[in-house]
Structure 1
């Protein structure tokens, strides 16, 4: 089989396509024939600087946490009926040498989740890290819910910073499905159109409007749940629009790594600032996130494509380096690698 591999950290040039033996699933594992591999910012960061550890020098690291495909074999302890099941894959490369940028991947059975017949492989490969992150951000508030379901957030308001981003798109769609009133901030008309397609009720262009006033006009009582991509840059805005007892869940450090918090305002409003790194969230929360995303998927509440606010950019396996560069350059939309039909050699 063909697999993308790197043995040292650096630019996209460290990636190459190699021939490998098809792995065998171990006990409790499934073997997935990968159709589409999803690329996330953590994938290029792990390749570039080893954010999540170093690759095995001899065997090398196959990148990418997310993907989709079909179960073609199972290990001991896994029901044989799973053979032939279409699945979406999450966290394939977390503390493992085998991600989804290869034609076959063996991994724990729970990390390959059934993909409904009406859901495309492109949609399946776009879930994983972004959707699980969004789910966690929407479920950290006191009083729950721990797991999203239809109308589970009815009566609550959600502010999604960067609604045209991949996590932002997932957060908008999940929050809408869960019954929340959704406000999002964007930086221009193109991104506004994408956020609108994703389903946001209110869209604020922070470059053309007074964002705090516009958000307060949309949600006079303040926002209950905030999904934040740039906490340092947006801290002042957050404290201007957060409702008492609001939760602010941040999953990235766009705009800076350090910030100051107004202690009295945070304390007297009982605000919760919650960091979210999906790899390290409690196992119970991760299980709730997987189940919640699966339920939204079964309910046809998650979509991809420009008509859903998430343009797709697809690269062949031998162009995985270009896919990494696109994510690193902050392309608008979701970057995917079509695994079928890759060629061995230079990426």
Structure 2
């Protein structure tokens, strides 16, 4: 089978198209024929040597955490899936040497989730990291239910920072589905239109508008939860608009690894600051997030494509390096790789 591999960390030129043997599923495993692989910032950062650091590997790695495809074979003890079932995949490459940038991937059955008939492979490959991060962030407020369901955020105000990004897009869709009043910030009219298609009720251009004044007008009592893409740049704003007992959830970093927090004001309102990495949350949190995303997907809420506000940029498997470069350069929307020929 065809697979993209890299034997050491570095820029995208380390990625090579290779031939590998298909792996038979063992007990508790399934083999999936990958139709579409999704690319996230974490994929190129891992390939470049972030986290564990750079170096040579004992065996080549296959990149990319997310994807969607069809069950090709099942191992002993797997009863929830049968050959031919459509699935979406999550955290495939985390702590392993395998990812979704290959024609067939063998992995624990628990990392595959049924893909509803109404959902496309593009939809499925766009979930994983972005949608699970969004679900975890929206459920992080201790005053709210631990799992998102329709109506669970009724009466709450959610601010999604950077609503045109993949996580922001999913957060808007999930928050609106759960009944929240959704405010988002963007940097252009084009991105505002994307956030509108995703379902954002109120959109503020932080390049031209007074963001704090606009949010206070919409939410005089403050925002319950902030899904924050850039804590370093926005912490002072967040402190001004968060409600008493509210939660700021930081899920990304722009490279500057430090933020200055106005402690006194935050203490006065008992503000919670939550740092979030989807890979290392508790099993219960992850399973709740998967259940929320699955329910929303089945309801037709989550999706990818221009009509949903998440435009797709496509590449072939042999163009995986270019796909990584596109994500690293900040292309708007979702980058997908067509794996199946």
Smaller-chain TM-score range? over 0.9
User: Structure 2: how far apart are the matches of 1:174 and 1:7?
Assistant: 38
TM-superposed CA distance for 1:157, in Å, is: 0.5
1:274 aligns with 2:274: yes
Contact conserved, 2:10 with 2:54, CA < 8 A, in 1? no
User: Structure 2: how far apart are the matches of 1:267 and 1:9?
Assistant: 42
Which residue of the partner structure matches residue 133 of structure 1?
Answer: 133
User: Structure 2: how far apart are the matches of 1:64 and 1:115?
Assistant: 19
User: Structure 2: how far apart are the matches of 1:250 and 1:139?
Assistant: 13
**The residue matched to 2:107 in structure 1 has which SS?**
strand
User: Structure 1: how far apart are the matches of 2:25 and 2:148?
Assistant: 32
TM-superposed CA distance for 1:57, in Å, is: 2.8
User: Structure 1: how far apart are the matches of 2:81 and 2:46?
Assistant: 35
1:303-318 correspondence to structure 2 within 5 Å: 303-318=303-318
Flag the 1:55–1:337 CA change in 2: closer, same or farther, 3 A: farther
Which residue of the partner structure matches residue 92 of structure 2?
Answer: 92
TM-superposed CA distance for 1:133, in Å, is: 0.4
TM-superposed CA distance for 1:297, in Å, is: 0.6
Which residue of the partner structure matches residue 292 of structure 1?
Answer: 292
**The residue matched to 1:322 in structure 2 has which SS?**
helix
- Can you list the C-alpha shifts for 1:62-89, whole angstroms capped at 9, x where unaligned? 0000000001111111027522110000
Flag the 1:52–1:64 CA change in 2: closer, same or farther, 3 A: farther
Contact conserved, 1:230 with 1:255, CA < 8 A, in 2? no
Aligned length, in residue pairs: 341
**The residue matched to 1:6 in structure 2 has which SS?**
strand
Which residue of the partner structure matches residue 221 of structure 1?
Answer: 221
Which residue of the partner structure matches residue 163 of structure 1?
Answer: 163
Contact conserved, 2:29 with 2:109, CA < 8 A, in 1? yes
Which residue of the partner structure matches residue 122 of structure 1?
Answer: 122
Contact conserved, 2:34 with 2:105, CA < 8 A, in 1? yes
User: Structure 2: how far apart are the matches of 1:52 and 1:184?
Assistant: 33
Contact conserved, 2:9 with 2:56, CA < 8 A, in 1? no
Comparing 78-87 and 235-244, the one that deviates more: 78-87
User: Structure 2: how far apart are the matches of 1:203 and 1:67?
Assistant: 30
1:144 aligns with 2:138: no
Comparing 75-84 and 205-214, the one that deviates more: 75-84
TM-superposed CA distance for 1:13, in Å, is: 0.5
User: Structure 2: how far apart are the matches of 1:94 and 1:260?
Assistant: 31
Which residue of the partner structure matches residue 262 of structure 2?
Answer: 262
**The residue matched to 2:88 in structure 1 has which SS?**
strand
User: Structure 2: how far apart are the matches of 1:51 and 1:234?
Assistant: 24
Which residue of the partner structure matches residue 38 of structure 1?
Answer: 38
TM-superposed CA distance for 1:53, in Å, is: 6.0
TM-superposed CA distance for 1:144, in Å, is: 2.8
TM-superposed CA distance for 1:260, in Å, is: 1.5
**The residue matched to 1:34 in structure 2 has which SS?**
strand
Contact conserved, 1:163 with 1:186, CA < 8 A, in 2? yes
TM-score scaled by structure 1? Answer: 0.96
**The residue matched to 1:57 in structure 2 has which SS?**
strand
The alignment's C-alpha RMSD in Å is 1.3
Moved beyond 3 Å, runs of 4+ = 52-56
TM-superposed CA distance for 1:309, in Å, is: 0.9
Contact conserved, 1:232 with 1:255, CA < 8 A, in 2? no
Contact conserved, 1:233 with 1:256, CA < 8 A, in 2? no
Flag structure 2 segments of 5+ consecutive residues without an equivalent: none
Flag the 1:58–1:208 CA change in 2: closer, same or farther, 3 A: same
Which residue of the partner structure matches residue 240 of structure 1?
Answer: 240
1:314-333 correspondence to structure 2 within 5 Å: 314-333=314-333
User: Structure 2: how far apart are the matches of 1:144 and 1:12?
Assistant: 42
User: Structure 2: how far apart are the matches of 1:310 and 1:88?
Assistant: 18
TM-superposed CA distance for 1:143, in Å, is: 2.9
User: Structure 2: how far apart are the matches of 1:178 and 1:38?
Assistant: 25
User: Structure 2: how far apart are the matches of 1:80 and 1:95?
Assistant: 24
